Structure 1
Amino acid sequence: MSGTPSQPGTPGLLRAMNDKAALALLLEHGPLTRAQIGELTGLSKPTASQVVARLEQLDLIDVVGSVAAARGPSAVTYAVRSDRAHAVAVDVRPHRVLSTLVDAVGTDFPIAEVPLARTAAERSAVGDIGAAIQAACEAAGTTPDSVVTVIVGLQGAVDPRTDDLAFVGLIPGWPRKAVRAQLEDGLGMSVRIDNDVNLAAVAERAEGSGRDVDGFALLWMGDGLGLAVDLGGSLHRGASGGAGEIGYLPVPGESAKDLQDLIGGIAVGRLARAHGVRGRTLDATLKDLAGHPARPAVLAELATRVAVGVIPVLAVLDPPVVVLGGPTGAAGGQTLADLVRGHIRRTSRWSPHISVSTVADHPVLRGARSVVGADLRSRLLDLVP
């Protein structure tokens, strides 16, 4: 009886393994010649040529150029057909969404911004994400036809057991029950929802202060607060998805009832204005703070407050690094990080390493792109029969 592709050692299985190995290399390295594919896979030249021919027939790769050879004709280079499937990464803010197209090879597409209505009557989850997808595709010069999945970062948590939103901030018109299911039904594609700070931590691990450490805790400080915990490259989300909602942490003995009231956006604005810094919004306040003579005094007072939130993290997790991120963390920079570390060393038993986020910009979108890009690569590999 002839073998089937599912039987070990059969020609069909070996062909599939070789094809997937070659496709994975093209996804990792970019354009390669047949000879380079053969060298990297260890396949003979004839076998590598057969692999390339099969991937071409499947429309998974295409000729993209050539390289000059030392002797003889130029060698053709092949690359993955990344236009076969796209994704969209979305960062949901209270009254706007940021989005960008994503492909399997990591193309840097433009970021689109869409303002959103402020009332629930004019908003819906499907409408918000649909608008974000459309804007991302228009910015990239394409249409949503090739979009197969979307990843959504938002200020809240989705319970993996119930698909319900919890700890959610101001998102008018969004359901609190079965949110992912409603998005998938309305958009007609797979949807992944994650906490925005968790996605920012993915970017921190890939290209920021979390690159070369065993683990870290990212304290995100903006209008809202959040904590992401990276344990050796894996994010700890908790049983209900609510791990890291540190803004709700009570702060006994302080004038504030919880950490949000102590170092959230409103609190930071009040602290800065008390020192003469101007700004109606947090972003405006932090911008004025940058060159203000009161900056040292503001950061010194803010550091004692931030330490109140960091010490419980040290007591429970004792991470190798605590990273200060978000708009407030970025504005304070390493100066704020050093002040927080110094205060903790003087007033507690811990001597932590505190650093500032080094992700350049749009950390939530950067993390979302990384996650959904891996999904697209898996989808392409699954197209190999």
Structure 2
Amino acid sequence: MKTATPATARAINDRLVLDLLLERGPLTAPQLREFTGLSRPTVSDLIERLRDGGLIEVAGECGENRRGPNARLFGIVAGRAHVAGVDVRRTAVNVTVADITGRTVGSAVRDIPGSGGGSAPPGSGGTPGLSALIGSAVAEAAAGRVLDTVVLGAPGLVDPRHGDLVAPNDVPGWEPGLLQTVRRDLGVPVTMENEVNLAAVTEHRTGAATGRDDFVLLWLDDGLGSALVLDGRVRRGASGGAGEVGILRTAGGSLCDLVVADVLRDLGRDDAAGRIAACAFALVAILDPGLVVLGGSIGREGGDDLAELVEGRLRDLSPAPTEVRASTVEGNAVLQGAVLTALDLTRDRIFG
């Protein structure tokens, strides 16, 4: 059995404290010793090392009548790095910029021409290309801040081997090589991820799947998407197509055509629940995730009542006990997942 070298032990302790400060906010040296179990000399050296590295700073004092070194509160240097999350949908580009603590510092939106059918798509008729729209939105949200990482969410299968779309999507103005163009224009690392996978990241961290290592997210909107989280990790498959049940065909057509939002809204609630349960069953029968989360506009609108109906229908189809919950994420789950993923990448690079 190998033992950790002093350098490795320092790196582990540093990351332990940095993650603790991200989770709890500024803490004193005695509090750091209490929460980590590290000795006084170790914490003292660690604080000095992290301050010299520009990662933490004195953020105030603890207690109205206390003074001295033990009263100092140490917190993450929020401006040490900034990240951007980008959600590219069929109608608009949404951007959020956050500092390394996760606090939002800027946002921007750009409508995509041609999404409503009344104007030319980006890059045609003299209009700016989609990459230019993305760059413009990112620049506005960043407001002059240097970005460390950008994560871009988009519809379609994203091949985990090279990080680009397997096939073109239906976003107006999307062209082959767009990812490379965005990377060149922004001049920072840009990672692309499937939009529903990013929504699943948010659901896992802050939504209905918090505390669950295994679940399936069904994204019920203008199409049918799904994401798989197993052992706490998003599973993409060999080419990014893991869990895409929408392409399965039945006598009535593809599952995607049977559960698009406009179709479900025209059905009675029981019939809609039956169709959604049939989609979930295709995944539950193989994966046995124990939890299905209903996201997208239909999942949010249906809420707990729809989730309960789907769970009952699923119980009739599968012997595997499966809980069904409506999404509890407030706001844009895809955009939030993009920011969370960008923060993970940046913190691993900077914090070690």
Which band: TM-score by shorter chain?
Answer: 0.7 to 0.9
Residue number in structure 2 paired with 1:174:
174
> What amino acid maps onto 2:135 in structure 1?
G
Residue number in structure 2 paired with 1:248:
247
- CA displacement at 1:346 relative to structure 2: 4.4
- CA displacement at 1:65 relative to structure 2: 1.0
For residues 298-340 of structure 1, the C-alpha deviation after alignment (integer angstroms, 9 at most, x for no partner) is 3223222223322222222232112211101111122222222
Secondary structure at the residue paired with 1:160?
Answer: coil
- CA displacement at 1:175 relative to structure 2: 2.6
Which moved further from structure 2: 305-314 or 317-326? 305-314
Check conservation: 1:67, 1:76, Cα contact below 8 A. Answer: yes
Matched, 1:98 2:94: yes
Check conservation: 1:110, 1:136, Cα contact below 8 A. Answer: yes
Alignment of 1:231-246 (within 5 A): 231-246=230-245
Residue number in structure 1 paired with 2:133:
128
Matched, 1:155 2:155: yes
Alignment of 1:1-385 (within 5 A): 9=5, 19-45=14-40, 48-68=43-63, 73=68, 75-109=71-105, 111-118=107-114, 119-121=121-123, 122-137=127-142, 142-144=143-145, 146-166=146-166, 168-177=168-177, 179-252=178-251, 254=252, 257-268=253-264, 271=266, 298-346=268-316, 352-382=322-352
> What amino acid maps onto 2:57 in structure 1?
D
Check conservation: 1:341, 1:351, Cα contact below 8 A. Answer: no
Check conservation: 1:95, 1:116, Cα contact below 8 A. Answer: yes
Secondary structure at the residue paired with 1:175?
Answer: coil
Relative distance call for 1:168 and 1:352 in structure 2 (3 A) is farther
- CA displacement at 1:35 relative to structure 2: 3.2
Relative distance call for 1:92 and 1:378 in structure 2 (3 A) is same
Check conservation: 2:281, 2:317, Cα contact below 8 A. Answer: no
For residues 115-151 of structure 1, the C-alpha deviation after alignment (integer angstroms, 9 at most, x for no partner) is 12221423534323212312322xxxx423x211101
What percent of counterpart residues are identical? 38
> What amino acid maps onto 1:127 in structure 2?
A
Relative distance call for 1:313 and 1:87 in structure 2 (3 A) is same
Secondary structure at the residue paired with 2:331?
Answer: coil
Relative distance call for 1:174 and 1:23 in structure 2 (3 A) is same
> What amino acid maps onto 1:82 in structure 2?
A
Check conservation: 2:223, 2:257, Cα contact below 8 A. Answer: no
Over aligned residues, Cα RMSD in angstroms? 2.9
Relative distance call for 1:70 and 1:333 in structure 2 (3 A) is same
* Distance (whole Å) between structure 2 residues aligned to residue 333 and residue 244 of structure 1: 23
For residues 197-249 of structure 1, the C-alpha deviation after alignment (integer angstroms, 9 at most, x for no partner) is 11111111122222233411111101121011111211121111122333222
> What amino acid maps onto 2:54 in structure 1?
D
Secondary structure at the residue paired with 2:249?
Answer: coil
* Distance (whole Å) between structure 1 residues aligned to residue 10 and residue 285 of structure 2: 53
Residue number in structure 1 paired with 2:117:
none
Residue number in structure 2 paired with 1:284:
none
* Distance (whole Å) between structure 1 residues aligned to residue 162 and residue 37 of structure 2: 47
* Distance (whole Å) between structure 1 residues aligned to residue 235 and residue 4 of structure 2: 37
> What amino acid maps onto 1:379 in structure 2?
R
The structure with the largest alpha-carbon Rg is 1
Check conservation: 1:91, 1:152, Cα contact below 8 A. Answer: yes
> What amino acid maps onto 2:264 in structure 1?
V
Check conservation: 1:163, 1:181, Cα contact below 8 A. Answer: no
For residues 337-365 of structure 1, the C-alpha deviation after alignment (integer angstroms, 9 at most, x for no partner) is 22223334446666643221122221112
> What amino acid maps onto 2:86 in structure 1?
V
> What amino acid maps onto 1:187 in structure 2?
L
Check conservation: 2:88, 2:152, Cα contact below 8 A. Answer: yes
* Distance (whole Å) between structure 2 residues aligned to residue 40 and residue 347 of structure 1: 47
Check conservation: 2:163, 2:193, Cα contact below 8 A. Answer: no
Structure 2's unaligned 5+ residue stretches are: 115-120
- CA displacement at 1:31 relative to structure 2: 1.1
Secondary structure at the residue paired with 1:243?
Answer: coil
Secondary structure at the residue paired with 2:250?
Answer: coil
Relative distance call for 1:222 and 1:18 in structure 2 (3 A) is closer
For residues 35-90 of structure 1, the C-alpha deviation after alignment (integer angstroms, 9 at most, x for no partner) is 33344455554554443333333322222211127665482222111212110011
> What amino acid maps onto 1:132 in structure 2?
A
> What amino acid maps onto 2:279 in structure 1?
G
> What is the TM-score of this pair, normalised by structure 1?
0.78
* Distance (whole Å) between structure 2 residues aligned to residue 354 and residue 19 of structure 1: 39
In the comparison of the two structures, how many residue pairs are matched? 340
* Distance (whole Å) between structure 2 residues aligned to residue 357 and residue 340 of structure 1: 14
Secondary structure at the residue paired with 2:264?
Answer: helix
Relative distance call for 1:320 and 1:51 in structure 2 (3 A) is closer
* Distance (whole Å) between structure 1 residues aligned to residue 289 and residue 12 of structure 2: 40
